[in-house]
A and B are shown apart, each in its own frame.
Chain A
Amino acid sequence: MGMVDSPNGNHQARKGRRQSKRLGFHLDMTPMVDVAFLLLTFFMLTTTFAKSNTMEINMPPETGEVRIAEQNVMTVRIAGDGMAYCSLGEEVPRRISLYGPSDSRKKSLSAELRSLLRKQTSANRKMVIVVKISDKAKYRNLVDLIDELNLMKIDRFSLDDYTDQDEAAIKNAV
């Protein structure tokens, strides 16, 4: 370990004489090379390149109408006030808090909204969820809602424009 050896170093024999020039000096480099390669392999194996994750969204084409029975549509309207307004078909929307009680920025949807979504989609397999988001809402709301739907494996949902009718509809929400 850590030895330094010089081939022309018969020091004991030549004690007292003038020390010879150290020609052909050898240093055992094995430990250094070991460490260098260990580090190299470690960083090579643990490096992960930063790649972003994505969510895919499909939009229905503008043309071509799909007709769905009224009782199979659940509309989720998100206004800018942190509330979701859910309504089945044409009935009066129900006001539900969008986010559950949680601290700071890590927000998840409220348990009430989640259970409603789960109940409706499991009760009726043909249920389509129409998501309408107000211009006053944040982009975060869209991502959180779609993420939740993806987690629940609900793929029958679509995004639609938020119109003045929706604004009027949520006015008399219960």
Chain B
Amino acid sequence: MARIKAKRVGFRLDMTPMVDVAFLLLTFFMLTTKFRPPETVQIDLPSSHSEQKLPESDVLTVTVSGDNTFFMGVSSQQSREKLFNSVVRPKLKAAGLAPAAQEDSLRNFRLTESFSVGREELDRFVVMSRFADQKLRPVIRADADADYEAVSHVIDVYKKANLLTFNLVTVLEREVR
């Protein structure tokens, strides 16, 4: 009974299950990770020294590309659905699309990050998405080489929709002054 316990020299623990789990998780995340889908247009953002971060939810983004075309996107799927029902669906109906096809394009629309909008339509889209979700924060994401005229059109649209505080997306300028 009073024997001295042998020192545990060369103690070994079977690590196989732990390694199994670690690699399982690693592979799972590697395989399920979805990378950001490619942008519809390449936007060359202007640089600034602002370090404020853009919120991820509840944003209404109007993109102005380098050739002055407009794209619009809302971040939440509910707002997208409301926007679809109020603006896009009547158009499809008028074009004589079958209800099944309308549902199909709704499913597509819910997953689109941004879609092309005509210059004249922008007004209606912004007002309707504002109507769909009051909390939306307006954001302008314009190419540095876009004409100011196009951007000022977006600003005017926001102003008319009574959205007086908005964000301009920029990239951080790495330069010490």
Contact = CB atoms under 8 A, between A and B. Distances in A.
| Chains A and B belong together in one complex | yes
Interface of A: 26, 29-30, 32-33, 36-37, 40, 51-62, 106, 108, 133-144, 146-147, 150-151, 159, 161
A10 B53 CA distance: 65
B13 to A, nearest CB: 9
B175 A135 contact: no
A56 B171 contact: no
Given A33-B19, A36-B23, A147-B49, A139 B169 contact: no
B16 interface: yes
- Which of A29, A30, A140, A151 counts the most chain B CB atoms within 10 A? A140
B159 A141 contact: no
Interface in B3-20: 12, 15-16, 18-19
Contacts of B159: 59, 62
A54 B52 contact: yes
A141 B148 contact: yes
Contacts of B19: 29, 32-33, 36
A169 B119 CA distance: 30
Contacts of A144: 46, 48
Contacts of B64: 139
A54 B145 contact: no
Given A55-B170, A140-B145, A143-B144, A33 B164 contact: no
5 contacts: A52-B54, A53-B169, A54-B169, A144-B48, A150-B50
B160 to A, nearest CB: 8
A136 B147 contact: yes
Interface residues of B, number: 49
B60 interface: no
Contacts of A37: 22
B165 A54 contact: no
A105 B162 CA distance: 35
B165 A53 contact: no
A146 to B, nearest CB: 8
Contact of B50 (A53, A106, A134, A137): A53
Interface string B129-167: 000000000010111111111111001001100101111
Contacts of A36: 19, 22-23, 26
B172 interface: yes
Contact of B16 (A29, A140, A147): A29
Given A33-B18, A55-B168, A138 B146 contact: yes
B51 interface: yes
A53 B148 contact: no
A142 B148 contact: yes
Contacts of B45: 52
Contacts of A55: 48, 50, 52, 167-168, 170
Nearest to A133: B148
Nearest to B160: A62
A37 B45 CA distance: 37
Q: Which of A59, A139, A140 lies at the interface centre, i.e. has the most chain B CB atoms within 10 A of its CB?
A: A139
Residue among A57, A137, A141 having the largest count of chain B Cβ atoms under 10 Å: A57
Contacts of B46: 139-140, 143-144
Contact of B167 (A33, A57, A61, A141): A57
